[in-house]
Amino acid sequence: MNTRLVFKTLGKILQVLSVLMCLPLIISLIYFEIDMLFAFMVPIISSLFFGTLLTSLKPKNNRMYAKEGCAVVGLSWVLMSLFGCLPFVISGMIPNFFDAFFETVSGFTTTGSTIISDIDVLYDGYKGLLFWRSFTHWIGGMGVLVFVLAILPSSEGQNIFLIKAESTGAKVGKLVSKVRVTARILYVIYLVMTIICAVMLAFDPTMSVYDAVVHAAGTAGTGGFGVRGLGVGYYSNYCQIVIAVFMMLFGINFNIFYLLLIGKVKDVLKSEELRWYLIIIIIATVVIGVDIYFDAKLAYDTVGGALKDSYFQVSSIITTTGFATTDFAYWSNFSKTILFVLMFVGGCAGSTAGGLKVQRILILFKSGRRELKKIAHQKSVQNIKLEGKTVEDDVAKGVTSYFAIIMILFVIVTLLISLDGFDFESNVTAVAACINNIGPGLSHLVGPMGSFAEYSGFSKVILSFTMLIGRLEIYPILLLFNPKVWTNK
């Protein structure tokens, strides 16, 4: 392991983080929250200091391989969360360190699980911090290393491993030949779409410009931190629909947007993953819409109202955002089970969404079908095809083992947090929400109107790492705990 290079790169990331933290500081000052100056200046200066200290390291060579890439990504996300949670602790908004760490990890991993039980009292006086909370979604959505690659000059061309370790999906490719240009294209698409979303939201009178920006950041990163106790339900139907549509868009592979930009519409229409993603959304929306419309307890007047709530929630859960317009903890078990399944499906590969990703689900199904055929025709040879191209056996195997590891971690983490003594539904859906980076669970305790505040510090740390594992797709985080990687033997 080229430890010096790893730490040097971490130094660069800390420097970038300190610059990024200036933005919420400015927002604080705009709203005259002068006492926040100290809360932000401490982490800004300290991360700049440590960052500069680390960048002065002189690595023996600049070769970054898969191992180094994974280590940089894993460590940087933990470090960013440690520095990023300082403003919450120092300002006293979230005095407990574990709570603040959980909240920040939840932000960066675009989970959106919160430990804040009453957000409305914080709305006035903590605008800068609440913006930072949502801004972490935006940074984490596309990935901070992708951002670093896009803006900093790099000497070596081997940074593909950084993007590979941070991006999502079974197979990560580039858009154009240069990693840097790829990173820039991704960020430009990301930024422009976020701005469009914010502008469209700001048109609505129920939404202030501040709320529009915060929600656009949360939508873009498919994060889900809101600033109102009622969630998105606080705003008009127009806002709800805009957010629902944009959540769905941010769950689409960014390659698709690039193809649209360069005019290859035909290739977009051919995309198998996109087609299934949309089919799943439509079916889930209709089924849940019908189910909740006929549910007497929920008392929907019109089909439209039921469909709107159903669409919003489906879009929010499948893209692993976690915004809510209604407390779906009250929905029937059937609808809740559909949402639970959608939690694991997740968005498309190469989007800001979490979960397993539609691409992996497709490969899993196709592998299953192949095995079934093997029983009938033992000698049959059949390639798995996706997007018209053969999926290599290595990739298919990678997907099945990824699924297996996620399931094993899911069981272990559920077991660990069940020590706190809460009910089964809360525990299971809380872990599912964390590992898939969704946010709220499905029970009253951890649902959209609840919070994770009740869990013990131990559980919060466990859940924090679960979120990181989910966002970074297991390996960069697990690698950090493997001592063999760090010794040079």
Partner 1 sequence: MKIVIAGIGKFGKFLTKELSKENHNITIVDSNQSLVDDIVDQYDVYGCYGNAASYDTQKDAGVADCDIFVACTPSDEANILCCLVAKKLGAKQTIARLRHPEYAKQTQIMQAELGVDLSLNPDMDTAEEIFRILRFPSATKVETFANGRVNLIEIKLEQDSTLTNKTLADIRTKLDVPILVCAVRRGNDVIIPKGNFELLENDYVYITADNRQITKAFKKLKLLKNTLKSAMIVGGGRITYYLADLLVDSGISVKIIEKQKDTCNLLSELLPNALILHGEGTSNKLLLEEGIEDVDSVITLTGLDETNILISSYAKSVGVDKVITKVGREVYEDILTTIGLDSIVSPKEIFANNIIKHARGMENTEGAEFKTLHRLVGNKVEALEFGISNATSYTSIPLKNLKVKPNFLIACIIRANEVIIPSGNDTLEPLDSVVVVTTNTNVKDLSDILE
Under the rule (CB under 8 A), what is the footprint of partner 1? 66, 157-161, 173-174, 176-179, 181, 389-390, 392
Q: Which is nearer to partner 1, 206 or 390 (CB)?
A: 390
Find the shortest distance in angstroms from Cβ 151 to partner 1: 17
Q: What is the gyration radius of the CA atoms in the chain, in angstroms? A: 22
Q: Which is nearer to partner 1, 266 or 377 (CB)?
A: 266
Q: For 141, what's the count of Cα atoms within 13 Å in the CB-facing half-sphere?
A: 37
426 closest CA partner among 288, 329, 333, 331: 329
Is the sign of the CA dihedral 54, 55, 58, 59 positive or negative?
positive
146 closest CA partner among 78, 73, 217, 81: 73
Find the shortest distance in angstroms from Cβ 465 to partner 1: 28
Find the shortest distance in angstroms from Cβ 402 to partner 1: 18
Sequence-separated contacts (24+) of 416-423 with Cβ below 8 Å? 416/458, 416/459, 416/462, 417/455, 417/459, 417/462, 417/463, 419/456, 419/458, 419/459, 420/454, 420/455, 420/456, 420/459, 422/454, 422/455
Say if CB 221 and CB 185 are below 8 A apart. no
Find the shortest distance in angstroms from Cβ 101 to partner 1: 34
Q: Which is nearer to partner 1, 42 or 66 (CB)?
A: 66
Say if CB 370 and CB 384 are below 8 A apart. yes
Find the shortest distance in angstroms from Cβ 192 to partner 1: 23
Q: Which is nearer to partner 1, 173 or 368 (CB)?
A: 173
CB count within 10 Å of CB 473 equals: 23
Q: Which is nearer to partner 1, 176 or 209 (CB)?
A: 176
Say if CB 250 and CB 351 are below 8 A apart. yes
Q: What is the DSSP string of 321-386?
A: ----SS-GGGS-HHHHHHHHHHHHH-S-TTSS--SS-HHHHHHHHHHHHHHHHHHHSTT----EEE
DSSP state for residue 284 in the 8-state scheme: H
Q: Which is nearer to partner 1, 162 or 417 (CB)?
A: 162
Site of tokens 């300082």:
86
3-state SS of 177-239 is CCHHHHHHHHHHHHHHHHHHHHHHHHCCCCCCHHHHHHHHHHHHCCCCCCCCCCHHHHCCHHH
134 closest CA partner among 115, 118, 117, 110: 110
Q: Which is nearer to partner 1, 266 or 379 (CB)?
A: 266
Q: Which is nearer to partner 1, 359 or 459 (CB)?
A: 359
Q: Which is nearer to partner 1, 61 or 177 (CB)?
A: 177
429 closest CA partner among 416, 445, 406, 453: 445
Q: Which is nearer to partner 1, 176 or 188 (CB)?
A: 176
Q: Which is nearer to partner 1, 161 or 340 (CB)?
A: 161
Find the shortest distance in angstroms from Cβ 179 to partner 1: 5
